[in-house]
Amino acid sequence: MANATLTPDARVSSGEFDLPPSAWVEAYRTMVLARAMDERCLSLQRQGRIGFYVPLEGQEAAQVGCALALDPKDWVFPAYRELGVALVRGVPIQELLDQFIGNSGDRLKGRQMPNHYGYRAQNFVVASSPLGTQIPQAVGAALAARRRGDAVVTVAFFGDGSTSTNDFHAGLNFAGVYRSPTIFFCQNNQWAISMPRSHQTMSATLAEKAEAYGFGGVVVDGTDLGQVYRAVATARARALAGDGPTLIEAQVYRFGPHSTSDDPKRYRSDAEVAEWRRRDPLLRTKEEIMKTPGWTEAQDTALWTEARSRIAEAWKAAEGTPPLPPTSFLDDVFSERTPQLEHQRRELLGLLERKVVHE
């Protein structure tokens, strides 16, 4: 795996931007929670209790490391795989599960598929499915923060495949031109559904694309929590100092299917997956944690038990949450219903009353 720093910067390896030793256990706890969510949600999907799920397995260190290097005021522009980021930002598990069900507890009011969530309180902008769209948006928000004089950076999350979209190129170009305080955090998980990274672009790295737009790109080992944290903390400091944007390519691997609709056996070998699993970010982080004096295997087991029971509890509550009111999908199209929408709402109420349609 390439490990080159394309824009050498002395600060990259200084201790100033290291994840403090005291924060490692908490980071690991979040990674375990994220993986346990995957485990549970994949099984819920198989049982038909949620409709769809996008696992993040393999990308926990990249996401948690990145999110920990941010300030709560920073704005996150996620794609659909950023569970680890959402957890670090403090989105409650039950909010996520409510979203997966699309019940009345879902802050998004059942509008979107599972994993396509957003939470204003956590500065976690709502995700969409069309790839790459969040990238120029993150640039705009960063320029707005700068204009307001806020010490805020924005982070756009996206995958290797998304570097081929129009929006990626437009976004990076604007960021370069306006030196926006933006971090482009690309999780190169080696696959865009069935398209391998090697066929997506002939660039040797994704990070080097930043060069063409006039700013720096770095490649990091995304299975290494400390390395990711350092790169993001450095990029953040640079952005706030007025040194402009950074593209970070975190090299990871998607252990699972693209989504529950995907069968990766059709396009990649088990051997490749096994090879990457040896660098499982959870194992690597655990190895570090095991060096903490007094840390035992039993504590590790306890973390897993705690994560699973927190999820079980939240699921129980989510499942018991009532469904959405039936006409709610007609709200939020505009700030107020237009006469046409009001008319359509009445029509729907009539259909419900006459039992033509059912909640």
Ligand X SMILES: Cc1ncc(C[n+]2csc(CCOP(=O)(O)OP(=O)(O)O)c2C)c(N)n1
Site residues, ligand X (CB under 6 A): 81, 129-131, 158-162, 189, 191-193, 254, 258
Is 171 an interacting residue with respect to Mg ion (CB under 5 A)?
no
With CB under 5 A as the contact rule, which of the stretches 1-9, 22-30, 160-168, 328-336 interacts with Mg ion?
A: 160-168
> Which residue has its beta carbon closest to ligand X?
159
Closest CA to 249 of 325, 197, 178, 301: 197
Nearer to ligand X, 56 or 91 (CB): 56
Q: Which of 218, 183, 220, 222 is nearest to 57 (CA)?
A: 222
Token pair, residue 245, equals: 């944007």
Identify residue 151 by its one-letter amino acid code: A
11 is catalytic: no
User: Which partner in Mg ion, another protein, ligand X, none is near 229 (CB below 5 to 8 A by kind)?
Assistant: none
Task: Report the DSSP pairing between strands 182-188 and 216-221.
Answer: unpaired
Three-class DSSP category at 206: coil
For this structure, is 254 an active site residue?
yes
What x-and-dash track marks residues 326-345 binding another protein by CB under 8 A? x-xxx--x----x-xx--x-
CA neighbor of 328 nearest in space, from 148, 110, 160: 110
| Token pair belonging to 276 | 């990457």
Residue 46 annotated to the active site: no
Amino acid at 100: F
Q: What is the DSSP letter of 5?
A: B
What are 319's two structure tokens? Answer: 């499942």
Catalytic residue among 267, 277, 308, 310: 267
223, 275 Cβ separation under 8 angstroms: no
353 binds, among Mg ion, ligand X, another protein, none (CB under 5 to 8 A by kind): none
The residues binding another protein (CB under 8 A) are: 51-52, 101-103, 106, 109-113, 116, 128-131, 161-162, 164-167, 192-195, 199-201, 261-262, 266-267, 323-324, 326, 328-330, 333, 338, 340-341, 344, 348, 351, 354, 356-357, 359
The residues binding Mg ion (CB under 5 A) are: 159-160, 189, 192
Tell me the catalytic residues: 254, 258, 267
